[in-house]
């Protein structure tokens, strides 16, 4: 961060020097009426324009590289610390009817259609939503990690998402500390604003998963197949009942 700040300061000073140089040439041209000084004054501005264009190009390239890094970081987190969260969320989902097998075998257009359908989400019951909420709490360190990366990479949208999630988690923990034997979802049902946050939180989780699946399908199809195959297998393991039978879902 310090190196970035230092580089920004150097660039700013360099730009000021170029503009000042151009103004000096213009002032001398005004006093002396030497026309070549007018053309000379344009040189620092041309350099400045070049610096600006190159700077923007490098900035965009750096941001693309950071997003590519984040793509791989998310692949790890989706298959580790966030696995139980997404398993619980999809397991509780009633509409749209999404399975990992369906997602894995879908074309890109079909995935985008699934994402559109997920704008309207319905869960099997209030009770089914409670484990999903608690998985968000269990994954608290993941959200802190994403928040720090958002600050480092200057991803404002991701930072705002993490602040919303962490604020929600603190409210759940506060409620559970005072009411360890009660379900948070039933308390949320009594308060419209709180229930709206619950629905936004859980629904956004489904949206983010599908958005990431689409991103992988477009740019990293092999990683997409590996990720969804892992989830498909995890669902099968999760639904195995005692006695070795697999629960149909």
Tell me, yes or no, whether 170 lies in a domain.
Answer: yes
Tell me, yes or no, whether 243 lies in a domain.
Answer: no
pLDDT at 74: 83
Residue 246 has pLDDT above 50, yes or no: no
Asked if 238 and 87 count as a contact pair (C-beta separation under 8 A), the reply is: yes
Question: What average pLDDT does the segment 209-221 reach?
Answer: 94
Which domain covers residue 127, as residue numbers?
Answer: 79-238
Report which of 149, 132, 127, 137 is spatially closest to residue 206, judged by C-alpha positions: 132
The model's pTM: 0.72
Give residue 1's pLDDT band: very low, low, confident or very high (50, 70, 90).
Answer: very low
Higher pLDDT, 21 or 161: 161
pLDDT tens sequence across 166-193: 999 999 999 999 999 999 999 999 999 9
Query: Which segments of the chain does DSSP mark as H helices, in order?
Result: 2-32, 35-78, 83-92, 100-105, 108-117, 126-138, 140-153, 156-178, 184-190, 192-219, 221-238
**Which of 49-63, 132-146, 225-239 is the least confident region?**
49-63
Question: What average pLDDT does the segment 100-127 reach?
Answer: 96
pLDDT at 84: 93
User: What span, in angstroms and rounded, lies between the C-alpha atoms of 41 and 108?
Assistant: 54
| 196, 228: one domain | yes
pLDDT tens sequence across 62-109: 667 777 777 788 888 888 889 999 999 999 999 999 999 999 999 999
Number of domains in the chain: 2
pLDDT at 38: 54
Percent of the chain with pLDDT over 70: 70
| 110, 46: one domain | no
pLDDT at 12: 65
Tell me, yes or no, whether 71 lies in a domain.
Answer: no
User: What span, in angstroms and rounded, lies between the C-alpha atoms of 122 and 199?
Assistant: 9
Tell me, yes or no, whether 248 lies in a domain.
Answer: no
* β pairing state of 122-123 and 93-95: antiparallel
Question: What average pLDDT does the segment 37-58 reach?
Answer: 59
| 84, 50: one domain | no
pLDDT at 119: 95
Tell me, yes or no, whether 22 lies in a domain.
Answer: yes
Mean pLDDT of all residues in the chain?
A: 82
Residue 244 has pLDDT above 50, yes or no: no
């Amino acid at each position: 961060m310090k190196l970035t700040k230092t580089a920004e300061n150097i660039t700013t000073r360099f730009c000021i020097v170029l503009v000042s140089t151009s103004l000096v040439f213009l002032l001398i041209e005004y006093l002396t009426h030497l026309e070549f000084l007018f053309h000379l004054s344009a040189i620092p501005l041309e350099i400045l324009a070049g610096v600006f264009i190159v700077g923007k190009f490098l900035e965009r390239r750096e941001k693309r590289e950071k997003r590519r890094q984040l793509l791989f970081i998310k692949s790890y987190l989706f298959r580790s610390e966030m696995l139980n969260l997404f398993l619980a969320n999809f397991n509780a989902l009633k509409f749209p009817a999404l399975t990992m097998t369906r997602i894995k075998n879908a074309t890109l257009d079909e995935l985008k259609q699934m994402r559109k359908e997920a704008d309207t989400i319905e869960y099997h019951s209030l009770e089914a939503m409670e484990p999903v909420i608690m998985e968000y709490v269990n994954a608290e360190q993941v959200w802190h990690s994403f928040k720090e990366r958002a600050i480092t990479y200057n991803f404002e949208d991701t930072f705002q998402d993490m602040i919303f999630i962490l604020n929600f988690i603190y409210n759940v923990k506060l409620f559970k500390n005072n009411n360890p034997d009660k379900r948070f979802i039933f308390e949320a049902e009594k308060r419209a604003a709180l229930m709206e946050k619950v629905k936004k939180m859980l629904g956004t989780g489904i949206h983010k998963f599908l958005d990431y699946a689409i991103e992988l399908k477009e740019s990293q199809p092999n990683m997409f197949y590996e990720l969804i195959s892992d989830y498909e297998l995890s669902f099968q393991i999760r639904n195995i009942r005692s006695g070795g039978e697999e629960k149909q879902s």
